[in-house]
């Protein structure tokens, strides 16, 4: 019973995620697309919970939904007007793009079905905060520090690009 | 597009077409919580910084000056009540000064002292409203209910005792005042004055020296002396720039030359000093009221004026220091029962003009602070 | 039916495909950025799923996902400030208009 | 002495017995019990704002030398109910230039996360709806979703004041989220857990038999953390002195200018529910949750919890009716150059403290 319940939840989330993703790439209004992406990221966080990665799920919500997407919406609001969604939003290579992405998807699915069929979870999900913390400051400490450097660089870069030309001169 | 409003081409500076390269256009008002009535300011911004601002007036125009031409002289006092509705006493007074100059009548001394007392009380009441609404503009709600709901109410009660009205008094009449103060009124005023000193100290702790308030207002919207004089600014706004100018001293009317009071002046004319000058003025007004109460002797309150009269042909100008600045009435008489022409020099109207240069370069949040600190009353601006 | 690894992998493949489609065909540069975020997330689902089904006793997959999220944040911040900067210069967010090298 | 936890435990047991007797699994009983709990929380969180709005009116009235609502019911206690009924029957206005779907969804996106946020909050000893291992992080993460709703409201209204308000609101929420999360980090470091229940339990006991071991009484670290948390929490709830997004005198009503009726009520509800949430978090993180002081046994733990929460709510109200509003750039400046450095210094101090204790 518990297993079928989980499968049901997964099914609902998968359908939601696929639907929202399609909205993201096809919506005429970029703002609505961004909202759909936000919801999709929330669903991904739900999938993480289903996979027993509670800390990652919370990080996903905190950083993606509460941070990145807000900046994204910010930029959408600054660069668009509410009536911009009258414009066509896809370029002329959309047929080739669709075919290519379909091909990639099919190839991936075939490959995944061939290699990873019928592998079931061996351990029930358990809280992972402590182990993720030990991993990040233990085995992964060098990448961890490297990422902090990348973040600093990104911060400086963002501030630089964010300044207008006049302010850059100063 | 169907939903776009067609833009009139009459006044392009207050209805600029939307142009993305000119930044965002914000129409502040005429229905907006901080325009203190129905003022509209057309603002163009670059991000949050104002690049151009244009006050758009006339939403409250009632043609007071034209109406005055069809009314007899005593009837016009009622119209003046409706100009600066926060300081109706000084409006009455200023108009009566002009007519009295034309008539050449003498005012009984007691009436003059009563005028000074109600005039200064009116100044305090008006500044109380300013203080409260300015607090709201900056985001502090409590001072409003303290200054507006507590102290101003007391003053209005005093006015109600003396003339029966709380907002439009019609108390100061040509030749004197409507009626003598009722029994015990002066003790009530004395008690109020005594209390008010403490209340003003309370405002200082509530708002004047609040760090956030000072941060919001100090150095914001500074006006130089030259600029203030060039734009014809009068009243506390001028004094905040450091110009020691007050009609009560420069061109003493009534019995102000007998009384002692100081003129508080600022240094750099920013929002905080405009506010501070007004708070200090409230203290000076209290001193004036005390002196007038002490000097007042029993006597007549109305000069020898017939019920109906004709004013000799000529021109008369009376002006006084209203809470918002130099309020003047210019009257041309052709000898008929009503004036040939009346012009009002409304201080709010003239002070408001400076906004178009004063607002430039400040943030949208500062616009509210500057607009509030100029302290306009739309009834007077639009007349 | 019991959930197994390839369910998650198939889902992530589909999301990845949708992301590719968006990245290739959107005219709006913000749409392209959003599609790239979708692809990141497809990869993240894969990482966590492999972690959960193949190596449940360790959390390396989740650790890498944390890095991916962090780097996505960095990418978004720099990318978006670039977009704003470009928008200020050419007043457009459409990729075909971005054909000049200097601002 | 009326602890609710044992009663609820017994009720759950009998529910399980009843459900299993009807041929279902214990899992169904668990789901049923959690559904009932969720219903209770939703009800509670929806009703709390009614009380808080009344409290706000009365507190502000006493601070402003007036009486507040007096007409509807004794001392006006039904005023908020009456206002709620009024809001329900008001016309729902959708402006012409708006993005209808976004306009409709915005209030829901703002209000929905609040209910979820209460899941890991211990309402007393043993009164945790779901004891999440990532409790604190969960609350921060989920409450961050509301910022999206504010942006949606700003965009969907098709109004410049709303748009400015939405932009300001989102910028403010994102900025103050950082010191708010960092201010809690010393607590997580010292107690080594993120579960709110465990944090509340860890604060039981007395120093020298007198001073409670609440986090706020930790020398230096506790007080700095509390101050930063308090300031950031006030900013997160968009209340004066940080009510930039809805700055009445500047932006009319900011992002909810164009909302009327029930949608406006939802924004209102979310504001007060967030005040309650922030107060509840402060009560658990800094004041020991259900731990009673000075006499623990006199009152049940949930009363202690509610008492501490009410005290925090009062602080919020006090702030609002005392301070003017900061200007938007000063607000950001304050966050990034004062709160953030101090919260990082505080984390280092906490680390030092842990090192010295070893």
* pLDDT at B32 > cutoff 80: no
Tell me whether residue B353 is in a domain: yes
* pLDDT at B13 > cutoff 70: no
- In this complex, the residue of D141, D152, D167 whose CB is nearest that of residue A74 is D167
Are A31 and D148 within 8 A, CB to CB?
A: no
Are A70 and D134 within 8 A, CB to CB?
A: no
Contacts (Cβ under 8 Å, ≥6 apart) of D50? D80, D81, D84
**Residue D249: per-residue pLDDT:** 59
CA distance B289 to chain D (A): 26
Please tell me if residue B214 touches chain D, with a CB cutoff of 8 Å.
no
CA angle (A47 as vertex; A43, A48 as ends), nearest 5 = 115
Residue B103 structural domain: 65-382
Mean pLDDT of A70-84: 74
Please tell me if residue D133 touches chain A, with a CB cutoff of 8 Å.
yes
Closest by CA position to D266, among listed D52, D86, D87: D87
Q: Where are the alpha helices (DSSP H) in B139-184?
A: 142-146, 152-163
Task: Read off the pTM.
Answer: 0.84
- In this complex, the residue of D63, D65, D97 whose CB is nearest that of residue B149 is D65
Closest by CA position to A65, among listed A44, A40, A38, A45: A38
CA angle (B297 as vertex; B293, B298 as ends), nearest 5 = 120
Please tell me if residue B23 touches chain D, with a CB cutoff of 8 Å.
no
Tell me the ipTM for this assembly: 0.79
pLDDT-flagged residues of chain C (< 50): none
**Residue B2: per-residue pLDDT:** 45
pLDDT tens, position by position, B238-288: 888 888 888 888 888 888 888 888 888 888 888 888 899 999 999 889 988
C-alpha C35: how far from its chain's center? Answer: 6
Residue C28 DSSP class: B
Tell me whether residue B134 is in a domain: yes
Find, in chain D, the residue whose alpha carbon is nearest to that of B26. D160
Closest by CA position to D160, among listed A64, C12, B28: B28
**Residue D85: per-residue pLDDT:** 87
**DSSP assignment string, B16-80:** PPP-GGG-EEEEE-SS-TTSSSS-EEEEEEETTEEEEEEEE--TT---HHHHHTTS-HHHHHHHH
**Residue B359: per-residue pLDDT:** 86
Find, in chain A, the residue whose alpha carbon is nearest to that of D141. A62
Q: How confident is the model at residue B20 (pLDDT cuts 50, 70, 90)?
A: very low
pLDDT-flagged residues of chain D (< 50): none
Cβ-based contacts of B275 with chain D (< 8 Å): none
Query: What's the mean per-residue pLDDT of chain A?
Result: 82
The ranges assigned to domains in chain A are 1-83
Please tell me if residue A1 touches chain C, with a CB cutoff of 8 Å.
no
Closest by CA position to B116, among listed B181, B207, B168: B181
| Residues B235 and B326 sit within 8 Å (Cβ to Cβ) | yes
CATH of the domain at B139: 1.10.645.10
**Residue C72 to residue D15: CA distance in whole angstroms:** 47
Tell me whether residue B83 is in a domain: yes
Cβ-based contacts of A5 with chain D (< 8 Å): 27
**Residue D149: per-residue pLDDT:** 87
| Residues D143 and D120 sit within 8 Å (Cβ to Cβ) | no
Contacts (Cβ under 8 Å, ≥6 apart) of A166? none
Chain A / chain D CB contacts < 8 angstroms: 88
3-state secondary structure of D48: helix
- In this complex, the residue of C18, C65, C88 whose CB is nearest that of residue A22 is C18
Are D174 and A70 within 8 A, CB to CB?
A: yes
Tell me whether residue B55 is in a domain: no
| Residues D58 and D68 sit within 8 Å (Cβ to Cβ) | yes
Cβ-based contacts of D65 with chain B (< 8 Å): 145-146, 149-150
Cβ-based contacts of D151 with chain A (< 8 Å): 70, 73-74, 77
- In this complex, the residue of D64, D252, D325 whose CB is nearest that of residue B138 is D325
**Residue B8: per-residue pLDDT:** 47
Contacts (Cβ under 8 Å, ≥6 apart) of A134? none
CA distance A160 to chain D (A): 17
**Residue A19: per-residue pLDDT:** 92
**Residue D297: per-residue pLDDT:** 66
| Residues B112 and B98 sit within 8 Å (Cβ to Cβ) | no
Query: What's the mean per-residue pLDDT of chain B?
Result: 84
Interface test with A, best of C42, C44, C89 (most A CBs within 10 A): C44
Are C53 and A120 within 8 A, CB to CB?
A: yes
**Residue D109 to residue D102: CA distance in whole angstroms:** 10
**Residue D242 to residue D330: CA distance in whole angstroms:** 10
**Residue D175: per-residue pLDDT:** 84
D-C interface (Cβ pairs under 8 Å ≥ 3): no
The ranges assigned to domains in chain C are 5-97
**DSSP assignment string, D70-85:** -SSSGGGTTHHHHHHH
Beta strand ranges found along chain C (DSSP E): none
- In this complex, the residue of A37, A91, A128 whose CB is nearest that of residue C34 is A37
Structure tokens at B43: 């603002």
Please tell me if residue A89 touches chain C, with a CB cutoff of 8 Å.
yes
**Residue A75 to residue D183: CA distance in whole angstroms:** 29
Architecture of domain A1-83: Up-down Bundle (1.20)
**Domain C5-97, CATH number (from 3.20.20.70, 2.160.10.10, 1.10.3720.10, 1.10.287.3510):** 1.10.287.3510
**Residue B9: per-residue pLDDT:** 47
Q: Which residues partner with B344 through β-bridges?
A: B329
**Residue D239: per-residue pLDDT:** 76
Q: How far is CA B95 from CA B80, B92, B170, B333, B343, in A?
A: 7, 5, 11, 14, 10
Q: How confident is the model at residue A15 (pLDDT cuts 50, 70, 90)?
A: very high
How many domains would you assign to chain B? 1
Structure tokens at B272: 């905080």
Least confident of B26-35, B181-190, D229-238: B26-35
């Amino acid at each position: 019973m518990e297993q079928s319940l989980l499968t049901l939840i997964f099914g609902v989330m998968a359908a939601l995620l696929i639907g929202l993703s399609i909205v993201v790439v096809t919506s005429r209004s970029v703002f609505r697309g961004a909202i759909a992406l936000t919801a999709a990221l929330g669903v991904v966080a739900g999938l993480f919970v289903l996979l027993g990665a509670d800390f990652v799920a919370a990080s996903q919500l905190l950083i993606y939904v509460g941070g990145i997407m807000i900046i994204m919406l910010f930029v959408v609001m600054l660069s668009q007007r509410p009536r911009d969604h009258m414009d066509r939003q896809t370029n002329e290579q959309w047929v080739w793009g669709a075919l290519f992405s379909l091909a990639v998807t099919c190839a991936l699915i075939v490959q995944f079905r061939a290699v990873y069929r019928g592998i079931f979870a061996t351990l029930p999900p358990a809280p992972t905060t402590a182990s993720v913390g030990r991993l990040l400051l233990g085995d992964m400490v060098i990448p961890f520090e490297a990422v902090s450097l990348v973040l600093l660089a990104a911060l400086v870069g963002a501030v630089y690009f964010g300044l207008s030309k006049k302010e850059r001169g100063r | 597009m169907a939903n776009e409003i067609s833009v009139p081409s009459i006044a392009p500076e207050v209805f600029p077409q939307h142009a993305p390269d000119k930044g965002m256009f914000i129409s502040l008002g005429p229905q907006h919580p901080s325009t203190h009535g129905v003022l509209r300011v057309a603002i163009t911004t670059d991000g949050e910084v104002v690049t151009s601002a244009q006050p758009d007036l006339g939403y409250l125009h009632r043609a007071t000056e034209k109406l005055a031409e069809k009314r007899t002289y005593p009837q016009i006092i009622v119209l003046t009540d409706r100009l600066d509705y926060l300081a109706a006493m000084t409006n009455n007074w200023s108009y009566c000064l002009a007519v009295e100059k034309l008539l050449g009548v003498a005012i009984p001394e007691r009436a003059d002292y009563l005028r000074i007392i109600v005039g200064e009380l009116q100044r305090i009441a008006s500044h109380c409203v300013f203080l409260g609404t300015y607090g709201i503009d900056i985001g502090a709600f409590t001072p409003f209910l303290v200054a507006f709901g507590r102290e101003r109410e007391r003053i209005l009660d005093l006015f109600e005792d003396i003339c029966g009205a709380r907002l439009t008094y019609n108390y100061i009449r040509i030749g004197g005042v409507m009626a003598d103060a009722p029994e015990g009124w002066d003790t009530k005023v004395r008690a109020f004055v005594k209390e008010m000193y403490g209340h003003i100290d309370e405002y200082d702790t509530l708002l004047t020296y609040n760090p956030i308030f000072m941060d919001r207002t100090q150095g914001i919207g500074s006006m130089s002396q030259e600029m203030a004089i060039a734009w014809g600014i009068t009243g506390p706004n001028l004094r905040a720039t450091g110009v020691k100018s007050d009609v009560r001293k420069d061109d003493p009317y009534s019995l102000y030359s007998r009384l002692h009071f100081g003129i508080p002046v600022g240094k750099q004319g920013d929002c905080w000093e405009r506010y501070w000058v007004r708070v200090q003025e409230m203290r000076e007004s209290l001193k004036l009221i005390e002196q007038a109460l002490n000097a007042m002797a029993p006597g007549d309150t109305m000069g020898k004026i017939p019920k109906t009269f004709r004013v000799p042909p000529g021109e008369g100008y009376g002006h006084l220091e209203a809470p918002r600045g130099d309020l003047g009435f210019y009257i041309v008489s052709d000898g008929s029962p009503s004036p040939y022409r009346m012009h009002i020099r409304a201080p709010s109207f003239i002070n408001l003009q400076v906004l178009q240069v004063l607002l430039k370069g400040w943030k949208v949040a500062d616009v509210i602070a500057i607009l509030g600190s100029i302290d306009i009353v739309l009834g007077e601006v639009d007349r | 039916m019991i959930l197994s690894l390839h369910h998650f992998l198939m889902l992530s493949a589909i999301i990845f495909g949708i992301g590719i489609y968006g990245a290739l065909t959107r005219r709006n540069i913000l749409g392209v950025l959003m599609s790239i975020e979708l692809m990141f997330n497809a990869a993240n689902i894969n990482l966590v799923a492999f972690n959960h089904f193949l190596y449940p006793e360790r959390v390396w997959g989740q650790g890498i996902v944390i890095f991916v999220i962090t780097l996505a944040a960095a990418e978004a911040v720099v990318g978006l400030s670039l977009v704003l900067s470009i928008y200020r210069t050419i007043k457009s967010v459409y990729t075909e208009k971005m054909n000049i090298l200097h601002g | 002495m009326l602890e609710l936890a044992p009663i609820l435990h017994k009720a759950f047991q009998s529910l399980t017995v009843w459900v299993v007797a009807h041929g279902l699994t214990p899992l169904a009983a668990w789901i049923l019990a959690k559904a009932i709990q969720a219903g209770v929380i939703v009800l509670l969180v929806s009703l709390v704002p009614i009380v808080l709005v009344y409290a706000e009116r009365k507190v502000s009235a006493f601070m402003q030398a007036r009486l507040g609502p007096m007409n509807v019911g004794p001392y006006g206690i039904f005023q908020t109910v009456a206002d709620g009924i009024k809001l329900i029957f008001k016309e729902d206005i959708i402006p012409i230039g708006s993005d209808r779907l976004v306009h409709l969804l915005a209030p829901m996106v703002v209000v929905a996360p609040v209910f979820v946020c209460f899941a890991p909050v211990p309402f007393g000893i043993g009164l945790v709806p779901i004891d999440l291992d990532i409790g604190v992080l969960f609350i921060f993460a989920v409450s961050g979703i509301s910022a999206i709703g504010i942006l949606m409201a700003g965009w969907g209204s098709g109004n410049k004041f709303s748009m400015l308000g939405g932009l300001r609101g989102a910028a403010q929420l994102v900025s103050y989220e950082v010191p708010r999360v960092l201010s809690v980090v010393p607590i997580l470091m010292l107690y080594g857990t993120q579960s709110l229940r465990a944090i509340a339990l860890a604060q039981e006991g007395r120093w020298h038999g007198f001073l409670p071991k609440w986090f706020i009484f930790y020398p230096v670290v506790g007080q700095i953390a509390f101050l930063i948390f308090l300031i950031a929490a006030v900013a997160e709830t968009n209340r004066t002195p940080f009510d930039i997004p809805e700055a009445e005198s500047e932006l009319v009503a900011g992002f909810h200018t164009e909302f009327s009726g029930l949608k406006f009520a939802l924004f209102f509800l979310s504001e007060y529910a967030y005040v309650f949430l922030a107060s509840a978090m402060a009560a658990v993180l800094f004041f020991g949750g259900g731990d009673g002081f000075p006499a623990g046994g006199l009152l049940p733990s949930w009363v202690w919890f509610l008492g501490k929460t009410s005290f925090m709510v009062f602080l919020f109200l006090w702030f609002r009716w005392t301070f003017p509003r900061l200007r938007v750039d000063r607000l950001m400046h304050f966050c990034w150059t004062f709160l953030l450095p101090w919260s990082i210094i505080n984390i280092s101090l906490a680390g030092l403290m842990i090192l010295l204790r070893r």
